[in-house]
Amino acid sequence: MISLVFLLSFTTITSEASLAPSDQIFQYIDAHQHEYVQRLREWVAIESDSSNLLKRQDLIEMIHLAEERIKYLGGTVELAELGVQELHNGSTPRLPPVILAELKKDPKKHTVCFYGHLDVQPARLEDGWASEPYNLTEKDGSLYGRGTSDDKGQILAVLNAVEALQQYELPVNVKFLLEAMEEVGSPGLLKLVEERNSTFFSDVDYIVITDSSWISNKPSITYGTRGNSYFLIEVECAKKDLHSGTFGGIVPEATSDLIYLLSTLVDSSGHILIPGIYDAVAPLTEKEKKLYEKIEWDFKKLKDTFGIRNFTYNTKEELLMRKSRYPSLSIHGIEGAFSAPGTKTVIPARVIGKFSIRLVPHMDRSVVTKQVMDHLNKKFAERNSPNHIEITNVQASKPWLSDTDEPLYLAGRKAIEKVFHTEADLTRIGGTIPIVSHFQDVTGKSIMLLGIGGPDDAPHGQNEKINRYNFIEGTKLYAAFLQELAST
Amino acid sequence: MISLVFLLSFTTITSEASLAPSDQIFQYIDAHQHEYVQRLREWVAIESDSSNLLKRQDLIEMIHLAEERIKYLGGTVELAELGVQELHNGSTPRLPPVILAELKKDPKKHTVCFYGHLDVQPARLEDGWASEPYNLTEKDGSLYGRGTSDDKGQILAVLNAVEALQQYELPVNVKFLLEAMEEVGSPGLLKLVEERNSTFFSDVDYIVITDSSWISNKPSITYGTRGNSYFLIEVECAKKDLHSGTFGGIVPEATSDLIYLLSTLVDSSGHILIPGIYDAVAPLTEKEKKLYEKIEWDFKKLKDTFGIRNFTYNTKEELLMRKSRYPSLSIHGIEGAFSAPGTKTVIPARVIGKFSIRLVPHMDRSVVTKQVMDHLNKKFAERNSPNHIEITNVQASKPWLSDTDEPLYLAGRKAIEKVFHTEADLTRIGGTIPIVSHFQDVTGKSIMLLGIGGPDDAPHGQNEKINRYNFIEGTKLYAAFLQELAST
C-alpha cells in the first residue's frame, strides 16, 4: 500500500522534471515526509546489531535493502567483499559486504562520496526503552528506534534528498560507501579504502560523513577531531603475586611504583605535566576564537545528564576549546592489580597502567611518545626502584582538521543558511573517528562531517531517536548542499 | 593388612607401659614410622577440599576418620554442629561439624588444646603435580600429597605423639579442636569458640596451633603475627562513565584524584608517609634484636622462588623485622577503573582504591584509622578537586604477640632442644591468622604456634610435601613438648 502511494506521487512529479528551484524541492520533501518515515521504519525494523554474531544475516539483509533503494534511484551498486573476521575465539565469520555505489557519472560535474553505516548498537526493550527499539515509534515529534539517528536515518535522508533532486536534476555525481560493521571497529574497511583509492575514489572530489550530530539544536558542521595516543606502563616487582602479610615491607611494590608514575602525568585541573607536551599545539587565532563564541552549547545540561560533579572550567568557550582543540590526558585504569569487589591482600607482581593523550594539530605522535618516555624514565630513575618498567605506545590516531573556508564547507554553510536561516556552528569534536583521518591519509580528499542528528538523540543509549524536524529539514539540508556543491 | 601389623606392634609395646623416658618414647616413634606414614596416606586419600562444594561429604568423612583415631586412643569426641553456610548464590549447605575432643581428664594436670584443620586447598594432577595429589608418594625422603604439611600431617603427628606417650603415661590432659573449613575462612568457628569458652575451654591452660611451619630447616616457634587494617578510597566524578574523547580535558577525573591520593601513602622504600603512623610501634629491645640475629633464614632463596627483583633491605635481620615487627602498607588495586586487557578510552565515573596497613604492637585500629582519614582528607583538600571522596576502614584484625618466656614457650623451646639438639628459632610472621587473635581475645589463654612443616613444603602450591624427617622428628617434638609441659 505504501509503495503504491509512493509510485503514484513519483510518477506525478517526474513529468515536471526540469530545473531545480529550492522551494519546489523543499515542498516535494515536505509532501513526501510520510514515505520517508515509512522507509525509516522498514530500515529500523532490521536488527542490524553488528556486535551480535547471531545477527550477521540481518546485516546482510540491511545491506541489500540499501542496495535496493540505491538501484531504485538508478544507481549502480557493487557489493565489495571484505573476507572474514578473525575473532578471539578462533572463529572466522564472513564479514558483511560494503556498498560501493554510484549515481550519475558526468565528468563535467563534481563528485561527492557519502560515507555512512547501516549497523547499529545493541538494544533491548528491557534495557529501559519506552518502546520496542526495532519498531519505529513516533511521540511528541520524535521518531524513536535504534538507528534512527546513528546512522540509518542520516543515510536515508541523503537518499531521499537525491530522490527529491532527481525530480528535476541531480546536480552533482553522488557516490556512497556504506558499511555494516562500524560499531565494532570497521574490520577490513581501511584496507578496502586503500585498494579502491585509484579506482572508486579516483574521481571523488569530496567526502561527506553523515555519521555525526549537532552539539545543540542549531545545525553544525564538524571540521576537526582530536587524535589519540595510548600508552601502557608495565611495572614488575616479582614473577608471582605476593601475599602482603608475608612480603609487605620487604618488597618495593610494582603497584606503588606505577601509582607514583601515573601521579606525575596530570594535575587536578587537567593540565598535563609532561615537559614540552604543549609546544606543538597550534596557537589560537582570533578567527578560531570567534567560532567558539558563536557556538550554541548547553554545557550545564550535559553536566546534569552525566551527573558530573563539576567541570574544570566555567565558560562555554574555554570548555569547548579544552575538549576539542587542546590535548588532554586520561588515566583509564590498571591491569594486573586487584580490581574485583572485596578485600584481597595481594601484592601484584606485574601491573600495567593505561593512559592516553588526545592529540591536536600539530602534535606529532613520535615526538609525543618521546616526551612521554623521557618524562617517565626520568621520574622512575629519580625514584630509585629496583623494579623493571616498560613503557609502550600501543596505538595512535592522528588529529584531523579542515579549513572551513574550503569549497566543501562553503557549500555546507550556505545550505544550512538556506534551510535553517541561521549561520552554521562550526565545531570540532574531542574524540577520534579513525575513518576520517584514514580517508584523509589515503585519498587526500577534502572531507566534512555533515550530520543531521540532534544533541540529545542518545545514539548509543536507550530510547535513541531522531526528531521528525531534523529528519525532514535534514533531508532538505542534504538537497540544498548538493545544489550548492554544484555551483562551487 | 596394614592395620594388622599395627595392632600386633601396639600389643607388643603396651605390655611394657610404665614411666616415660624420652629415649624409649623416641625409639617407639622411630619403630612405628611406617604405620604413621600409612595413616597419613589414608588421611591424604580423602579429598577434603573445602573450596569445592561437591566435596562436602569428603569433609565429613575426614572428620569421622579423625574422630575414629581419637576414640581409638581412648578420647571422647563431640561433633559440634556449626549450622549452615550462607553462600553468595543464596544456597545454604550444611557446614561440616567440628571435633571437640578430650584425652585424659586429670584435674591435677595441665590441659593443652591443639587446634588444627583437616581440610585442604584444591589440587589436581594437571595443575603441575609430579604425582597424584591425593595418593601419598614418597620420593627422596619427602612425602608428597595434598595436606601432608597443611595440616593433616601435623595433626597426625600430635595424635601419634599422644599414642607413643600412652605406652607409658600421657603426662597432661590433651584436647583437640579440629575443623574442616579453615581454607575457606572457618565460617561459624569463631562463634563456636565464644559459645564454648565457659565449657570446653574453661579448663584449658594452653592453646597450641599446629597450622604453622618453620622458616628454615631449623625448628622454629611462632610467637607473634601482624594484624591488618583494610581501607577503601572511593572517588566519584560523575554518575556515568565518560568517553575520554568527549570529556577529556573538561572533567576533573576521579582516577586522577585517586592516583594522587594513593601516591601520598608510601615511598619507594616502603616507608609509610602517613603522619604519626609509627608513633605507637613498640620499640625494638636488645633482647628482641638478638632473636633476629639467631634466626636461620635464606632470603636469597625466597627471592629466587618468587622472582623478586630486589628487597627493600639487604640484611636478614632488617628484612625479618620489616616483614614482621614493623607496619607496612600495600596498595592492592583499583575497582571501577578499566582493568581488562586492551585499550578502552574510558574516564571511569567512580573508582575505589584499595590498600591495607599491617598492624603491629601497639598500634590501635581506631588511632590508625583516624591518622589515615586525616592524612587523606588533608591531601584531598590541598588538591582542590570538586569530586566526592569517601574513605572507609572495611575490616581490621589485631596483631598478636606472646612472651617467649611464658611456660608454654619454655616447654616448646626445651622440647626442640631435646629432639633437635639446637635452640629454637623464635619467629613472628607478617601475616594475620584471625583464629589466633580470636582465641586470645575470647579465651585469654596462652597461645603458641608449634608446627613441624618445612620452609619449602608448598602448602598451597603444587607438589605439597612434608619431609619424612620432619614428620617423624616432629612427632618426637610433640611428645617431648607434652612431657615438658607436664613439668612446668
Query: pLDDT-based confidence at B20, cuts 50/70/90?
Result: low
Distances (CA, A) of B223 to B39, B66, B446: 30, 28, 10
- Check pLDDT > 80 for residue B276: yes
pLDDT tens column, B304-327: 989 999 999 999 999 999 999 999
Cβ pair A31, A9 in contact under 8 A: yes
Q: What backbone torsions phi and psi does residue B77 show, to the nearest 5 degrees?
A: -130, 130
Q: Looking at CA atoms only, how far is residue B278 from chain A in angstroms?
A: 13
- What was the pLDDT predicted at A184? 87
- Per-residue pLDDT tens digits for B423-479: 999 999 999 888 898 999 999 999 999 999 999 898 888 899 999 999 999 999 999
Question: Which chain B residue's Cα is nearest to A389?
Answer: B309
Name the minimum distance, in Å, from the CA of B331 to any CA of chain A: 6
Per-residue pLDDT, averaged over B163-167, amounts to 96
Grid cell in block for residue A407: 569549497
pLDDT tens digit sequence for B76-90: 999 999 999 988 788
Average pLDDT over residues B10-34: 72
What is the percent of chain A with per-residue pLDDT over 90, rounded to a whole number? 87
pLDDT mean across residues, chain A:
93
Q: Which of A308, A387, A388 to mutate to test the interface with B (most CBs of B within 10 A)?
A: A308
What does the block give as the cell for A368?
Answer: 609525543
* pLDDT score, position B481: 98
| Cα separation, A265 vs A372, whole angstroms | 9
Q: Do A346 and B332 touch (CB under 8 A)?
A: yes
Q: Which of A237, A246, A383 minimises the CB distance to B431?
A: A246
Q: Which domains does chain B have, with CATH numbers?
A: 2-225+399-486 (3.40.630.10), 227-281+326-397 (3.30.70.360)
pLDDT of residue B144: 98
State the pLDDT at residue B91: 87
Cβ distance A178 to A99 under 8 Å? yes
Residue A397: φ, ψ to 5°: -130, 145
A358 contacts on B by Cβ (under 8 Å): 244-245, 248-249
pLDDT at residue B335 is higher than 70: yes
> Average pLDDT of A303-328?
96
* CA gap A465, A150 in Å, rounded: 9
The 10 Å Cβ neighbour count of residue A211 is: 21
Size of interface A-B (CB pairs under 8 A): 270
| Residue A4, min C-alpha distance to chain B (Å) | 45
The average pLDDT across B156-176 equals: 97
For residue A245, list chain B residues with Cβ-Cβ distance below 8 A.
Answer: 226, 228, 358, 429-432
Alpha-carbon span B304 to B287, nearest angstrom: 31
Asked whether the predicted pLDDT for residue B7 surpasses 70, the reply is no
- Could you give the C-alpha distances from A130 to A122, A197, A302, B378, in angstroms and in order? 15, 44, 22, 46
- Asked whether the beta carbons of A379 and A262 are under 8 A apart, the reply is no
CB contact under 8 A, A330 and B248: yes
Q: What is the dihedral of CA B44, B45, B48, B51, to 10 degrees?
A: 90
Judge contact between B120 and B147, C-beta under 8 A.
Answer: yes
Q: Give the containing element (helix H, strand E) for B26.
A: helix B22-31
Q: What does B370-398 look like in DSSP terms, one character per residue?
A: HHHHHHHHHHHHHHT--SEEEEEEEEEE-
Q: Residue A395's pLDDT band (boundaries 50, 70, 90)?
A: confident
Find out whether A73 and A159 touch, Cβ atoms under 8 Å.
yes
Asked if B430's CB is within 8 angstroms of A245's CB, the reply is: yes
Measured in angstroms, the CA of B419 and the nearest CA of chain A are apart by 28
- State the Cα–Cα distance between residues A476 and A421, nearest whole angstrom: 13
> How close does chain A come to B429, measured CA to CA in Å?
7
For the question of an ipTM over 0.90, the answer is no
For residue A309, the chain B residues in CB contact (below 8 A) are 236-238, 252, 386-388
Pairwise CB contact (< 8 Å): A330 & B340: no
User: What mean pLDDT comes out for the span A165-170?
Assistant: 95
Q: Which of A67, A102, A119, A473 is catalytic?
A: A119
Query: B182 catalytic, yes or no?
Result: yes
Nearest Cα residue in chain B from A319: B250
Query: Which residues in chain B have their CB less than 8 angstroms from residue A340's CB?
Result: 335
Name the amino acid, one letter, at B483. Q
Amino acid letter, A374: D
For residue A329, list chain B residues with Cβ-Cβ distance below 8 A.
Answer: 248
- Closest chain B CA to residue A429: B246
Cα three-residue angle B447-B452-B454, rounded to 5 degrees: 125
CB nearest B343 (choices: A240, A252, A354): A354
The helix-helix angle for A33-45 and A468-486 (nearest 10°) equals: 110
List beta partners, residue A156: none
Per-residue pLDDT tens for A423-471? 999 999 999 888 898 999 999 999 999 999 999 898 888 899 999 999 9
Which of A265, A173, A158 lies closest to A210 in space, CA to CA?
Answer: A158
Chain B nearest C-alpha distance from A381 (Å)? 11
Query: Which residue of chain B comes nearest to A270, CA vs CA?
Result: B249
- Return the percentage of chain A with pLDDT > 70, whole number: 96
Q: Please provide the average confidence, as pLDDT, over all residues in chain B.
A: 93
Distance from CA of A397 to the nearest CA of B (A): 12
**What is the predicted pLDDT for the residue at B230?**
95
Q: Do A429 and B245 touch (CB under 8 A)?
A: yes
Could A307 and B238 be called an inter-chain contact, meaning their C-beta atoms sit closer than 8 Å? Answer: yes
A269, A322, A354 ranked by CB distance to B338: nearest: A354
Q: Which of B334, B341, B345 sits opposite A339 (nearest CB)?
A: B334
Q: Which residues of A touch B388 (CB under 8 A)?
A: 309
Alpha-carbon distance A453 to A470, whole Å? 7
Q: In b/e form, how buried is each residue of A61-90, taking b as 16+ CB within 10 angstroms?
A: bbbbbbbebbeebebebeebebeebeeeee
Of B256, B311, B347, the CB nearest to A251: B311
Phi, psi of A336 (to 5 degrees): 100, -20
Shortest CA gap A245–chain B (Å): 4
Tell me what the mean pLDDT of segment A297-326 comes to: 95
- Chain A residues within an 8 Å CB radius of B358: 244-245, 248-249
- Nearest Cα of chain B lies from the Cα of A336 at a distance, in angstroms, of 7
Band of pLDDT at residue A1, cut at 50, 70 and 90: very low
Q: How confident is the model over A333-359, as pLDDT tens digits? A: 999 999 998 888 999 999 999 999 999
Q: B383 to chain A: which residues are within 8 Å by CB?
A: 268
- Which helix (H) or strand (E) segment holds residue B63: the answer is helix B56-72
A344 residue type, one letter: K
User: Considering B35, B47, B151, B182, which one is annotated as catalytic?
Assistant: B182
Inform me whether the pLDDT recorded for B13 exceeds 70.
no
Residues of B in contact with A247 (CB under 8 A): 306, 308, 323, 430
pLDDT tens sequence across B387-426 = 999 999 998 889 999 999 999 999 999 999 999 999 999 9
Is the C-alpha dihedral spanning A333, A337, A339, A342 positive or negative? negative
With CA atoms as reference, the chain A residue closest to B320 would be: A250
Amino acid at A295: I
pLDDT confidence of A90, banded at 50, 70, 90?
confident
Which residues from chain B sit within 8 angstroms of residue A306, using beta carbons?
238-240, 242, 247, 349
The fraction of chain B above a pLDDT of 90, given in percent, is: 86
Q: Do B259 and A259 touch (CB under 8 A)?
A: yes
8 Å CB contact of A327 and B249: yes
The active-site residue out of A102, A182, A183, A425 is A182
In the block, cell 619454655 appears at: B410
pLDDT digits (tens, 9 = 90+) for A205-260: 999 999 999 999 999 999 999 999 999 999 999 999 999 999 999 999 999 999 99
Which residue did the predictor score with more confidence, B116 or B460? B116
Residue B119 is among the residues annotated as catalytic for this protein:
yes
Catalytic, out of B47, B58, B67, B119? B119
Contact B433, A345 (CB under 8 A): no
What are B226's three cell numbers? 601482624
Tell me which chain A residues have a C-beta less than 8 angstroms from the C-beta of B437: none
Interchain proximity B242–A306, CB inside 8 Å: yes
Identify the pLDDT of residue A86: 85
Answer yes or no: do A345 and B332 touch at CB < 8 A. Answer: yes
